[in-house]
């Protein structure tokens, strides 16, 4: 039997069959959550995020771990021994894990390029803005998490955004900030402070990677991912107001930051006019009546996601890899059938 049968056909079946099937299950759950009126459009953001990302990350983690487990010395799958009619160990499961990891990496490269950070500037013109931003951050206790994390960039297409995975930093476009009052800047930084506290650049990156590695399931989940990101931005608006940001100056800053082709991934502005109208309308309502934290969420999605990922990685080592055995024999029998 050709040694590349299982690594290649198995990986193709995972990408074309397993991941879309999990995406379909996740879509059913997302539809149910989004139809619930309790809590409004910001309801269940943590659970929706776990469904969006887990539908790709969890099966891939299990399959990679199972393939590596089968390739361990003395633990190679019985299916490999019986099907090949030989006594030596078979390392096809290990090759499958490598090919699957390479496919995931290839599908992820485009997303990684989009998350490149902005370049900070340190010119005479930007030094005054840096001093201004430092003063604004120091004078507002709600912005304490941004101390030492606010930078200025001269990139003309950049407004305001957060970059950095484990230690997020806020970048402010000098041309954008020149047209904002101190109150507008403070309110906009309050929005970004929520992104920093919740590690949103990392959260957004994982979401986009989960969609990238599931090309045939992406069309099922991408509309839900767009709605989740819009709701997440509105959640950050509300949190900023709860922590003391002025709603109307924040709304003004959002409108000024909005642009159709914004490069920032985790940013103040919105590309979609419907999302922009919703956020502005919400802030106008907050100007008349202060918001309340009705549905707490945020960092709670990360512990849940981490526990599920850990279970997916450890499960094959505790319960066996019967599902991967079926995939293994199925791939080789399929090739044998068409090779005749």
Q: Which helix (H) or strand (E) holds 66?
A: helix 45-70
> Is residue 321 predicted with pLDDT exceeding 90?
no
pLDDT band at 303 (very low <50, low <70, confident <90, very high): confident
> Is residue 193 predicted with pLDDT exceeding 90?
yes
CA distance 165 to 209: 14
> Is residue 198 predicted with pLDDT exceeding 60?
yes
pLDDT digits (tens, 9 = 90+) for 137-191: 999 999 999 999 999 988 877 889 899 888 999 999 888 898 899 999 999 999 9
Between 79 and 224, whose confidence is greater?
224
For range 70-77, the mean pLDDT? 60
Residue listed under structure tokens 């997440």: 232
pLDDT band at 30 (very low <50, low <70, confident <90, very high): very high
pLDDT band at 115 (very low <50, low <70, confident <90, very high): confident
State the CB neighbour count (10 A cutoff) for residue 14: 22
Whether the Cβ atoms of residue 265 and residue 206 lie closer than 8 Å to each other = no
What does the block give as tokens for 48? 């929706």
DSSP string, 248-298: HHHHHHHHHH--TT---SSBSS-SSHHHHHHHHHHHHHHHHS-----S--S
Who's near 63: CB < 8 A, 6+ residues apart? 14, 18, 97, 100, 324
> Is residue 330 predicted with pLDDT exceeding 90?
no
Among 57-66, 75-84, 221-230, 302-311, which is the least confidently predicted range?
75-84
CB under 8 A, 24+ apart: contacts of 303-310: 304/46, 304/50, 305/49, 305/50, 305/53, 305/54, 305/57, 305/206, 308/50, 308/54, 308/58, 309/57, 309/58, 309/61
Among 97-106, 281-290, 326-335, which is the least confidently predicted range?
326-335
Whether the Cβ atoms of residue 271 and residue 217 lie closer than 8 Å to each other = no
What pLDDT, on a 0 to 100 scale, did the predictor assign at position 126?
82
- C-alpha of 35 from chain center: 22
- C-alpha of 330 from chain center: 33
CA distance 93 to 316: 13
For 24, 51, 131, the CA distances from 19, given in Å and listed in that order, are: 9, 13, 49
**Per-position b or e across 39-58, b if 16+ CB within 10 A of its CB:** eeebbbbbbbbbbbbbbbbb
State the CB neighbour count (10 A cutoff) for residue 190: 26
> Is residue 298 predicted with pLDDT exceeding 50?
no
pLDDT band at 220 (very low <50, low <70, confident <90, very high): very high
Between 86 and 212, whose confidence is greater?
212
pLDDT band at 301 (very low <50, low <70, confident <90, very high): low
What pLDDT, on a 0 to 100 scale, did the predictor assign at position 93?
76
Distance in Å from the first CA to the final CA of the chain:
13
> Is residue 263 predicted with pLDDT exceeding 50?
yes
CA distance 128 to 133: 9
Side by side, the strands of the sheet bearing 160-163 are 150-153, 169-173, 160-163
pTM, entire model: 0.86
pLDDT digits (tens, 9 = 90+) for 58-70: 999 999 988 888 7
What pLDDT, on a 0 to 100 scale, did the predictor assign at position 252?
94
For range 76-104, the mean pLDDT? 66
């Amino acid at each position: 039997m050709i040694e590349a049968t299982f690594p290649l056909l198995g990986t193709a079946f995972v990408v074309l069959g397993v991941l879309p099937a999990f995406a379909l299950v996740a879509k059913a759950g997302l539809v149910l959550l989004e139809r619930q009126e309790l809590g409004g459009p910001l309801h269940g953001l943590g659970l929706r995020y776990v469904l969006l990302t887990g539908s790709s990350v969890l099966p891939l983690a299990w399959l990679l771990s199972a393939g590596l487990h089968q390739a361990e010395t003395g633990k190679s799958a019985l299916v490999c021994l019986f099907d090949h009619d030989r006594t030596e160990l078979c390392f096809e499961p290990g090759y499958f894990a490598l090919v699957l990891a390479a496919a995931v990496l290839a599908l992820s490269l485009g997303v990684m390029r989009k998350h490149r950070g902005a370049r900070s500037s340190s010119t005479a013109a930007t030094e005054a803005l840096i001093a201004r931003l430092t003063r604004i951050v120091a004078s507002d206790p709600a912005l304490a998490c941004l101390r030492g994390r606010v930078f200025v960039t001269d990139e003309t297409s950049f407004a305001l955004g957060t970059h950095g995975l484990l230690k997020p930093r806020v970048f402010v476009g000098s041309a954008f900030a020149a047209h904002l009052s101190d109150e507008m800047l403070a309110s906009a930084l309050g929005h970004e402070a929520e992104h920093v506290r919740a590690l949103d650049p990392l959260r957004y990156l994982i979401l986009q990677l989960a969609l990238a590695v599931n090309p045939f399931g992406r069309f099922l989940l991408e509309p839900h991912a767009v709605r989740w990101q819009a709701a997440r931005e509105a959640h950050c608006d509300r949190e900023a107001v709860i922590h003391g940001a002025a709603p109307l100056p924040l709304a003004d800053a959002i409108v000024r930051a909005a642009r159709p082709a914004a490069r920032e991934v985790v940013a103040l502005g919105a590309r979609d006019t419907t999302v922009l109208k919703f956020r502005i309308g919400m802030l106008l309502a907050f100007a008349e009546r202060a918001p309340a934290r009705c549905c707490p969420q945020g960092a709670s999605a990360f512990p849940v996601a981490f526990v599920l990922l850990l279970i997916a990685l450890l499960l094959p080592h505790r319960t066996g890899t019967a599902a991967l055995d079926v995939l293994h024999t199925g791939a080789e029998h399929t090739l044998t059938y068409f090779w005749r």
